Structure 1
Amino acid sequence: MRIALFTCRSVGIACVASVTDAAIGYPQALVRRIGHPVIWIGRLIDRLDTNLNRPDLSPARRRANGFVAAGLIVALPTLSAMVLERLVKRMLPRWLALPVTALLASTLVAQRSLHDHVLAVARSAEESLPAARHAVSHIVGRDPELLDEAGVLRAATETLAENFSDGIVAPLFWMAAGGLPGAVFYKSANTADSMIGHRTPKHEAFGYAAARLDDLVNLPASRLSALWIILAAATMRGMDAGGALRILRRDATTHRSPNAGWPEAAMAGALGIRLSGPRAYNGVNVDEPWVGDGPATLRPQALYRALALYRRACLIQTLAGLAGLGLLARGLRRH
Structure 2
Amino acid sequence: MLSAPDALWVLLGALIADAVIGDPDPVWRRLPHPVVWLGRLVALGDTKLNRENWSRSRRKAAGIAWLTLLLGTAIGAGWLIETALRALPFGPVWVALAASLLIAQRSLYDHVARVRDAPGLEAARQAVSMIVGRETSRLDEAGISRAAIESAAENFSDGIVAPAFWFAIGGLPGLVAYKAVNTADSMIGHLSQRHRDFGWASARLDDLLNLVPARLSALLIAFAAPLAGGSVGRSLRTAWRDAGTHRSPNAGWPEAAMASALGLALSGPRLYAAGPVEAPFLCPEGRRDARLADIGRGLRVMAGACLLQGIAIAALAWAL
TM bucket by the smaller chain? over 0.9
Q: Of 153, 158, 164, which aligns to 2:150? A: 158
1:223 equivalent in alignment to 2:211: no
Q: 2:246 is matched by which residue type in structure 1?
A: H
1:282 equivalent in alignment to 2:273: yes
CA shift, 1:238, in A, is 1.6
Q: How does 1:300-311 map to 2 (within 5 A)?
A: 300-311=292-303
* Structure 1 residue ranges (4+ consecutive) displaced by more than 2 angstroms after TM superposition: none
Q: What is aligned with 1:186?
A: 178
- How many pairs does the alignment contain? 319
Note the alpha carbon deviations across 1:96-124, whole angstroms, 9 max, x for none. 00011000010000000000000000111
Q: Of 225, 250, 259, which aligns to 1:268? A: 259
Q: How does 1:21-40 map to 2 (within 5 A)?
A: 21-40=18-37
Percent of residue pairs identical: 50
Q: 1:200 is matched by which residue type in structure 2?
A: S
1:298 equivalent in alignment to 2:316: no
- The answer on whether the counterparts of 2:228 and 2:301 sit within 8 Å (CA) in structure 1 is no
Q: 1:119 is matched by which residue type in structure 2?
A: A
Query: Mean alpha-carbon deviation: is it higher for 217-226 or for 71-80?
Result: 71-80
CA shift, 1:72, in A, is 1.4
Q: Which has the higher helix share?
A: 1
Q: What is aligned with 1:53?
A: 50
Q: 2:77 is matched by which residue type in structure 1?
A: S
- RMSD value, Cα: 1.2
Q: Of 234, 237, 241, which aligns to 1:250? A: 241
Q: What is aligned with 2:311?
A: 319
Q: 1:87 is matched by which residue type in structure 2?
A: A
TM-score (norm 2): 0.97
- The answer on whether the counterparts of 1:11 and 1:179 sit within 8 Å (CA) in structure 2 is no
CA shift, 1:244, in A, is 0.6
- The answer on whether the counterparts of 2:228 and 2:298 sit within 8 Å (CA) in structure 1 is no
- The answer on whether the counterparts of 2:185 and 2:199 sit within 8 Å (CA) in structure 1 is yes
Q: Of 37, 40, 52, which aligns to 1:43? A: 40
Q: Of 98, 107, 125, which aligns to 1:113? A: 107
Q: 1:86 is matched by which residue type in structure 2?
A: T
Q: Secondary structure of 1:108's partner?
A: coil
- The answer on whether the counterparts of 1:143 and 1:283 sit within 8 Å (CA) in structure 2 is no
Distance in 2 between residues matched to 1:12 and 1:177, nearest whole Å:
13
Note the alpha carbon deviations across 1:55-78, whole angstroms, 9 max, x for none. 121111000001011111221022
Query: Mean alpha-carbon deviation: is it higher for 37-46 or for 240-249?
Result: 240-249
Gaps of 5+ in 2: none
Q: How does 1:117-128 map to 2 (within 5 A)?
A: 117-124=111-118, 127-128=119-120
Distance in 1 between residues matched to 2:54 and 2:3, nearest whole Å:
44
Q: Of 195, 210, 215, which aligns to 1:203? A: 195
Distance in 2 between residues matched to 1:6 and 1:245, nearest whole Å:
33
Q: What is aligned with 2:94?
A: 100
Distance in 2 between residues matched to 1:166 and 1:283, nearest whole Å:
23
Distance in 1 between residues matched to 2:275 and 2:19, nearest whole Å:
37
Gaps of 5+ in 1: 329-335
Distance in 2 between residues matched to 1:189 and 1:244, nearest whole Å:
29
Note the alpha carbon deviations across 1:165-189, whole angstroms, 9 max, x for none. 0000000010111111111011011
